[in-house]
Amino acid sequence: MNSILCALLFVVFQPFAYGQFTEKLKDRLTVHFESDSYKISDDFKEEIRQFIQDLNVVTPYVFRIQSHTDSIGSLKYNQKLSERRSAAIRNYLREIGIPDILISTKGIGEIKPVMPNSEEDGRAYNRRSNIFVFEIQKYRLFKSKVELKDAKRSKATVFVQYDDKLDSTVTDDRGNFAFIVPENKDVTFGVFAPGYMFSTRTINTNKDLPVGDIILRKIKPGEKVSLQNLYFVGDKAILLPESRPELINLLRFVRSNPKLKLEIGGHVNGPKSYFGDENWYFNLALDRTHAIREYLKQAGVNTDHYICRSYSNTQMVFPEPKSEAEAKMNRRVEIKVLE
């Protein structure tokens, strides 16, 4: 335990080149004490030990201890007693391997009771220390450059989305943009410019940064965009919630270009070596394109000029995929401009 947490100190407390830290409450534990005592009982020592063991120690945490007393005794005495209780918890955390630099303590005394001090049951509950565990979220710099083919300026709008958070920015005239994004987070981004096809991609901020230049081509018949971050229930045409960022980017594009006639083309991963049923492949790909068109229709888009077409397994990027990543490239929906 000690060696793992000590190894995290460099990660947590080194000067951070990309931005700031934020803290998120991960968990908490309350420890109770006997009257006029700051000794941790054996039962609570075991509870604290188990609490620490259950934490995911691969993630950097900080521990904040706040201690309280009942109202027996003077304010000054109870303040000191609460500080001793926090110190006792801190010493025990150090014993079981938590580095001192990750721990902060505070004594609050008797001023914040959670139960009335008029009865012993209430006083017993007020004699407590709370161990708060905060997860440290680090951030990274996500920057790239957009190139608009055959344009003098590369002005574009970029949207990023992760969890329930959405942010956007406009590139400079040379197409440069930057975001501060959480470390080790899946982030979906979409790039848009009037008169141009769009680009969308999901990246992991640990594995996939930096991102290379993003090239947008002019809208014209035959141009297409591949949507690979659409997720369906296995072997069905039911969209999963994880598809929402990709669908929103598609929605942005069609709303900005309402007169385009589009083909929604469905592709499946069906290598010949799987000996799959050709009709089943065909229908699955077609049904999934219908699900996309229905999503757009429910969002208020006029889909009368959108055509759904199944390409089944006839245009696989990798005819015999050797990894899940290659199989995923085969499972896609493509948006193609017809006119």
Q: Residue 255, SS3?
A: helix
**CA triplet 91, 96, 100: central angle to 5 degrees?**
50
How many angstroms separate the CA atoms of 220 and 227, rounded?
A: 18
Can you name the residues that pair with 103 across neighbouring β-strands?
A: 63
Nearest residue to 223 via CA among 246, 196, 190: 196
Look up the pTM and report it.
Answer: 0.64
Domain range list for the chain: 2-137, 139-218, 219-339
**And the tokens for 260?**
């385009």
Q: What is the pLDDT of residue 339?
A: 85
The answer to whether 161 and 188 have CB atoms below 8 angstroms apart is: yes
DSSP character at residue 136: E
> How far is CA 172 from its chain centroid?
27
**Cis amide linkage into residue 99, ω under 30° from 0:** no
Alpha-carbon distance values, 9 to 42, 48, 83, 117, 170 (Å): 29, 22, 26, 41, 37
- Contacts of 234 by beta carbon, 8 Å cutoff, 6+ apart: none
Domain 139-218 has CATH 3.40.50.970: no
Predicted confidence at residue 16, as pLDDT, reads 34
pLDDT tens string, the chain, 339 residues long: the values are 433 333 333 333 333 333 445 677 889 999 999 999 999 999 999 999 999 998 865 567 899 999 999 999 999 999 999 999 999 999 999 999 898 988 999 999 999 999 999 999 999 999 999 999 998 878 889 999 999 999 999 999 999 999 888 999 999 999 999 999 988 899 999 999 999 999 999 999 989 999 999 999 999 999 999 998 888 887 889 998 989 999 999 999 999 999 999 999 999 888 888 777 889 999 999 999 999 999 999 999 999 999 999 999 999 999 999 998 888 888 899 999 998
Q: Which of 247, 266, 254 is nearest to 309 (CA)?
A: 266
Rounded to 10 degrees, the C-alpha dihedral 51/53/59/61 comes to: 40
- Work out the burial of residue 278: count CB atoms within 10 Å of its CB; fewer than 13 is exposed, 13-18 middle, 19 or more buried: exposed
Q: Which residue has the tokens 């000794």?
A: 39
pLDDT for residue 326 = 87
CATH 3.40.50.150 corresponds to the domain 219-339: no
Tokens 């930057």 locate to 178
Q: Sort strands 306-310 and 214-216 into parallel, antiparallel or unpaired.
A: unpaired
| Cα four-point dihedral sign 28, 205, 320, 291 | positive
Instruction: For 2-137, give the CATH class.
Output: alpha beta
Q: Please give the Cα distance from 88 to 302 (Å, whole number).
A: 67
Q: In the Cβ-directed half-sphere of 63, how many Cα atoms lie within 13 Å?
A: 27
Sign of the CA dihedral running 278, 284, 290, 296 = negative
